[in-house]
Structure 1
Amino acid sequence: MATERRTLIADAALDVLADEGMRGLTHRAVDRAADLPPGTTSAYFRTRRSLLDALVRRLVEIDQTELRTLGAAFPVPRDADELTSGLAAFTELRLTGPGRRRTLARYACAVESVRDPALREVLAPRENPARTAVRDFLAARGVPDPEERTVTLLACVDGLVFDRLVAGGAVPREHVRGLVEAALRGPDGG
């Protein structure tokens, strides 16, 4: 029961952060969002910092589950079009529905982590089947340093998501395709 309650609170905290930003993340706001009696959140997470830590850990847990599912659904792409389609689907997940709310919360936490190394460590990118599929795709094409190219490609895709989150609209497929082509060419254009 306590674990379920902690998860409920962390999920509500994600919603509060997505809706209200970092300044709106309070114990009272989370109690209201979770429809819990006043003081419940602070009984489970005494400090704002412990609440934020629970929120970030829950965010990473949800993200990793999503990325494992994506990796299983999209094994190593056969060609650049398939990789582009997979990455375009990923950007759509991050910009719509529940993915949009998590993306808003993730970016708020990322900004906060600039001043908080412990938070930054929890948010650090992790190995998962989706990331492995991208790296394996690049390696199979003889791309030098496929690990570094994977990191760069995924960071650029994340940048497209951030841009569209702020400006509105979808990530154009041709932008994703351009990033895939650049990853295949590399910095020297070859």
Structure 2
Amino acid sequence: MRQNPERRAALVDAAIEVLAREGMRGLTFRAVDAEADVPKGTASNYFANRDDLLTQIGGRFYERMAASASVAEALEGPRDRARLAALMRDLVDRITEFRSGYLALLELRLEATRRPALRDVLTRTIRADVEANIGFHLESGLPGDTTSVVALILALNQLITERLTLPGVYPEDRIHELVDELVDRVLPAG
């Protein structure tokens, strides 16, 4: 297997785009090569098989989301409900901006119901992300506890899913308002 990290990342990014656009059936090494604009056979030199590629896609989504977050900026100013709501609005926007990544992740979740190895990898990856978010939240001094963080994760994941898959369900001009309302319900004033 080839080891050029930049090329591997470009191939995984291309695979994310193919998976989001074409679904699981359209995700082939040939389609990834075409999307990445590399010679035929390149993807098969970097990934042992389709399961290897699927596993890499799941990890890459979280890499890209972590790279787009600024912890220092997140903690500027007071650490109150308003700051938490602003952080949640930013999170919804950042994930929505990486639409193909989130849609690819949804495809992977569905495929994981049929592939135990993929399910194991995604479970570990997503559990680690949830635990990291809980840890960050508790250490940051933002209001709320572990249950609050989990409730927000669950609610915002569904809101993001609706926003990306059925955008007419909740009006786009109300998304931030809905996020604020979710924060208010999870962390009532007083």
Structure 2 unaligned spans of 5+: none
Q: CA deviation at 1:131?
A: 4.8
Distance in 1 separating the partners of 2:75 and 2:105:
26
Distance in 2 separating the partners of 1:90 and 1:2:
31
So what's the TM-score if we normalise by structure 1? Answer: 0.80
Show structure 1 runs of 4+ deviating over 4 A: 130-133
Distance in 2 separating the partners of 1:47 and 1:151:
34
Q: Encode CA deviations 1:56-82: one digit per residue, 9 max, x unaligned.
A: 222222122234x2x322117532222
Aligned residue for 2:187, secondary structure, equals helix
How many residue pairs are counted as aligned between the two chains?
A: 178
Is 1:148 matched up with 2:150? no
For residue 81 of structure 2, what is the amino acid of its counterpart? A
1:61 is matched with 63
**Structure 1 residues 122, 38: closer, same or farther in 2, change over 3 A?**
farther
**Structure 1 residues 160, 38: closer, same or farther in 2, change over 3 A?**
same
2:46 is matched with 44
1:109 is matched with 108
Is 1:72 matched up with 2:72? yes
RMSD: 2.5
Distance in 2 separating the partners of 1:30 and 1:149:
39
Is 1:183 matched up with 2:166? no
For residue 80 of structure 1, what is the amino acid of its counterpart? R
Percent of pairs with identical residues: 31
Distance in 2 separating the partners of 1:51 and 1:29:
13
Q: CA deviation at 1:52?
A: 0.9
Distance in 1 separating the partners of 2:72 and 2:19:
30
Structure 1 unaligned spans of 5+: none
| Segment of structure 1 superposing worse, 55-64 or 6-15 | 55-64
Distance in 2 separating the partners of 1:122 and 1:91:
22
Q: CA deviation at 1:120?
A: 2.3
Is residue 18–residue 35 contact of structure 2 (8 Å, CA) maintained in 1? yes
So what's the TM-score if we normalise by structure 2? Answer: 0.80
1:167 is matched with 166
Is residue 65–residue 95 contact of structure 2 (8 Å, CA) maintained in 1? no
Q: CA deviation at 1:163?
A: 1.1
